[in-house]
């Protein structure tokens, strides 16, 4: 069942840089997809178009039947509430505790505090941070901060989890731990995951679908592919 449909999509920035060119791509519900490519290959632009930080210049990007490019700036939040986003730099609010950071995503929806608490505890349990509810982000290690970020992304049970180089700032061991967390979420919750990465080890180990971008063009698309096939990147 198709969940994401990208058709003949182009993205040209105001300064004339063509980041994505004629991209056509389908992703099914429950898939785990890696997006790889050299720096400047358009990975980040593709990810940003998925959460509508950027609009396609031409073509369509549809997520669960919603034409993302057609959304107005002021209604983008409706899409974001259905997505979970994980960033390389975590993007946690430094003045809020772990619990508050995760609860924040639900408070935005106007959910009752009574409903929020069990959901936040459950999400933190998923990422193995139930014991650090009251810690502030600067009291956590990089891996732990990323796990808080994942908990925040999944707390509202999104159908799609978008990860923009989530292991970019982490050591190999911690990166693997994060990947285990993501794989569990993918398997247990059936969440579709799209992850942009540079990390060879991870791609090799996970044996998931791999999409390779080269200068904004979809150059390869492998089921259960690996980085070995793309060592030029």
Partner 1 sequence: MKAFRIFIRSIRDSVKSIFRNFSLSIASILCTTITLILVAIAIVITINVNHITDDLEQELTIVVYADADTSDERLDEIEKEIKNISTVSEVVSKTKEEWRLEMQSYSDTLNTTLDYLEENPLLDSYIVTVENVDDLRPTALEIREIKNVESANYGEGMVEEIITIFDVIKTITIVMVVALIVVTAFLISNTIKLTIFSRRNEIEIMRLVGSSNTSVRLPFVFEGFLLGILGSIIPIIILIYGYLIMYEKISNSSSLSIIELVRPMPFVLLASLALLLIGCVVGMFGSARAVRKYLKI
- Quickly list DSSP for 144-174: HHHHHHHHHHHTT--SEEEEESTTTTS-HHH
The least CB distance from residue 74 to partner 1, in Å, is: 6
Cβ proximity to partner 1: between 41 and 88 the closer is 88
Give me the least distance between CB of 84 and partner 1, in Å please: 9
Q: Which is nearer to partner 1, 17 or 109 (CB)?
A: 109
Helical spans, DSSP H, in the chain: 43-50, 76-80, 98-107, 113-126, 142-154, 172-189, 200-206
Nearer to partner 1, 61 or 85 (CB): 85
Q: At what angle do helices 98-107 and 142-154 cross, to 10 degrees?
A: 20
Q: How far is the CB of 228 from partner 1 (least distance, A)?
A: 34
- C-beta of 143: minimal distance to partner 1 in Å? 20
Residues 26-65 that bind partner 1 (CB under 8 A): 51
153 CB-near residues (< 8 Å, 6+ apart): 84, 85, 86, 105, 161
3-state secondary structure of 134: coil
Q: How far is the CB of 221 from partner 1 (least distance, A)?
A: 28
Spatial separation of the C-alpha atoms in residues 101 and 180, rounded to whole Å: 22
Q: Nearest distance from residue 79's CB to partner 1, in Å?
A: 8
What separation in angstroms does the CA of 179 have from each of 110, 186, 193, 195, 205?
31, 10, 11, 10, 10
Nearest residue (CB) to partner 1, 22 versus 53 = 53
Q: What distance in Å separates the CA atoms of residue 192 and residue 196, rounded to the nearest whole number?
A: 14
For 57, the token pair is 């210049």
Q: Which is nearer to partner 1, 80 or 222 (CB)?
A: 80
Query: Quick one: 129 or 211, whose CB is closer to partner 1?
Result: 129
Least distance from partner 1 to the Cβ atom of residue 230, Å: 30
Site for partner 1 in 141-180 (CB under 8 A): 152, 156
For partner 1, the closer CB: 81 or 130? 81
Helical (H) or strand (E) element with 209: strand 209-214
Contacts of partner 1 in 66-125 (CB under 8 A): 73-74, 76-78, 80-81, 85, 91-93, 95, 104-105, 107-112
Q: Which residues bind partner 1 (CB under 8 A)?
A: 51, 73-74, 76-78, 80-81, 85, 91-93, 95, 104-105, 107-112, 152, 156
């Amino acid at each position: 069942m198709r969940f994401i449909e990208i058709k003949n999509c182009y993205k040209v920035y105001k300064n004339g840089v063509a980041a994505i060119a004629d991209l056509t791509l389908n992703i099914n519900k429950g898939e785990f997809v890696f997006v790889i490519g050299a720096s400047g290959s358009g990975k980040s632009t593709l990810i940003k178009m998925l959460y509508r930080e950027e609009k396609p210049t031409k073509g369509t990007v549809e997520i669960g039947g919603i034409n993302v490019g057609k959304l107005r700036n002021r209604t983008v939040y409706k899409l974001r509430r259905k997505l979970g986003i994980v960033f390389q730099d975590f993007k946690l609010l430094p003045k809020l505790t772990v619990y508050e950071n995760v609860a924040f995503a639900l408070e935005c929806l106007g959910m009752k505090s009574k409903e929020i608490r069990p959901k936040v505890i459950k999400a933190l349990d998923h990422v193995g941070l139930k014991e650090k509810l009251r810690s502030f982000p600067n009291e956590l290690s990089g891996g732990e901060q990323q796990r808080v970020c994942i908990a925040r992304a999944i707390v509202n049970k999104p159908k799609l989890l978008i990860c923009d180089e989530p292991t970019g700032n982490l050591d190999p061991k911690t990166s693997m731990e994060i990947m285990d967390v993501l794989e569990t979420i993918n398997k247990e919750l059936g969440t579709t995951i799209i992850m942009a990465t540079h990390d060879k080890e991870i791609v090799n180990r996970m044996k998931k679908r791999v999409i390779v971008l080269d200068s904004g063009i979809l150059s390869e698309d492998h089921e259960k592919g690996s980085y070995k096939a793309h060592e030029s990147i």
